Amino acid sequence: MTRSVIELPVSAADRRIAGLAAVAIGLTLAEAAIPSPVPGVKPGLANIVILLVMLQYGWKTAAWVAALRVLAGSLLLGSFLSPGFWLSAAGALSSLAVLAAGQYLPRRWFGAVSLSVLAAFGHIAGQLVLAWLWLLPTAALLNLLPVFAAAALLFGAINGFIVARLLAADASPKGQSSPCIPL
Amino acid sequence: MTLLRPGDLVVLAAGLLLVSGLAVFSWGGSHGDSAVIRVAGQVVDTPTLARARMISVEGPLGMTQIEIQPGRARIARDPSPRQLCVKRGWLSQAGDAALCLPNQVSLEIRGRSAAYDTLGY
């Protein structure tokens, strides 16, 4: 009798992605506790992690972290496969698409703030398109468009500043560059 | 390494422009200058919103009263059971409409530039 053992080799990259995703999930959970006047308007703190990950480990790792964040975050919040989950997934997907293009912007001119703002607009655009097509095909959503866009601009800028600060604080001591999320 | 690079300012400015553009697009609808009152789909009156007046029209259930004030109009009274068109309140933007379906009366605001080509109810 032979015993078959399925081995799933775990690489260092896998561990890193899992750890980074855990940080993003933690921020997602913390953020769910913050009340919001308009449903859908959130600071998007997990996007700080996503952007940091992209700038330090590349887009692919960031995409993994974002996908795990959406999936595990929804499982923990109990919203898996609910409309909120799909909206979150659509937002994450479209902001990743924006970042995929945005990563090729010249770094000399465009810093973390640019990427964060662009990703935030991508996020809200993806969510609104899905909400519009699927949930609320009415003009009421159209009236809230400026509110969502303003929130994306504000929180995108703030998150971008935070990312830029973290990167700067990380790069300054002795010019040595180590990941700001110690994983 | 600076926190804010030149391109960031451009992106922020573009974002601000987008937000204000959306605000104008969504909220700055043109004010109406006349109203269209329909009974059973037929236009019965197109009063101007320039001066105040009361208009009464007869529907299948009874009388619907429409109140016009400078720049705005509303359904003041209606025999509909749920009073939805009365609760719609004052209408002032071009394209706004209040529908009293049980009494087959509708009030729609028209502007110089209509927000929609046509509305199907």
Tell me the domain boundaries of chain B.
Answer: 34-110
Biggest CA–CA distance in chain A, Å, is: 68
Walk me through the domains of chain A, giving residue ranges and CATH numbers.
12-175 (1.10.1760)
Dihedral Cα B101, B107, B111, B113, nearest 10 deg: 20
Residue A183 pLDDT: 55
Contact (Cβ atoms closer than 8 angstroms) between residue A110 and residue B5? yes
Reported as a single tens digit per residue, the pLDDT across A70-106 is 999 999 999 999 988 999 999 999 999 999 999 999 9
Residues of B in contact with A175 (CB under 8 A): none
Is A146's CB within 8 Å of B27's CB? yes
Contact (Cβ atoms closer than 8 angstroms) between residue A74 and residue A87? no
Substitution target from A99, A103, A108, A109 for chain B, most B beta carbons within 10 A: A109
Residues in B whose CB is inside 8 Å of some CB of A read 1-8, 10-12, 15-16, 18-19, 22-23, 25-27
Contact (Cβ atoms closer than 8 angstroms) between residue A44 and residue A155? yes
Is A172's pLDDT higher than 80?
no
Give, to the nearest 10 degrees, the angle between helix B6-27 and helix A112-130.
30
What is the layout of strands, in order, in the sheet containing B63-69? Answer: B53-58, B63-69, B72-77
Is B114's pLDDT higher than 60?
no
Residue closest to B70 by CA, chosen among B90, B49, B91: B49
From the list B4, B23, B26, which residue is nearest A111 (CB)?
Answer: B4
Mean pLDDT (whole number) for B2-10: 88
The residue that leads in pLDDT, A138 or B88, is: B88
Confidence bin at A175 (pLDDT 50/70/90)? very low
Reported as a single tens digit per residue, the pLDDT across B13-60 is 999 999 999 888 877 766 778 899 999 989 999 888 888 899 999 999
Mean pLDDT (whole number) for B97-106: 91
* Structure tokens, A34: 């913050």
Is B116's pLDDT higher than 80?
no
Spatial separation of the C-alpha atoms in residues B12 and A97, rounded to whole Å: 20
Identify the DSSP state of A3.
Answer: -
What is the distance, to the nearest Å, from the Cα of residue A81 to the centroid of all Cα atoms in its chain? Answer: 19
From the list A145, A160, A168, which residue is nearest B22 (CB)?
Answer: A145
Confidence bin at A179 (pLDDT 50/70/90)? low
Residue B93 pLDDT: 81
Reported as a single tens digit per residue, the pLDDT across A34-62 is 887 777 788 889 999 999 999 999 999 99
Q: Is the pTM of this model over 0.90?
A: no
Is B5's CB within 8 Å of A142's CB? no
B34-110: CATH homologous superfamily? N-utilization substance G protein NusG, insert domain (2.60.320.10)
Reported as a single tens digit per residue, the pLDDT across A3-28 is 788 888 889 999 999 999 999 999 99
Residues of A in contact with B2 (CB under 8 A): 111
Reported as a single tens digit per residue, the pLDDT across A113-129 is 999 999 999 999 999 99
Contact (Cβ atoms closer than 8 angstroms) between residue A147 and residue A119? no
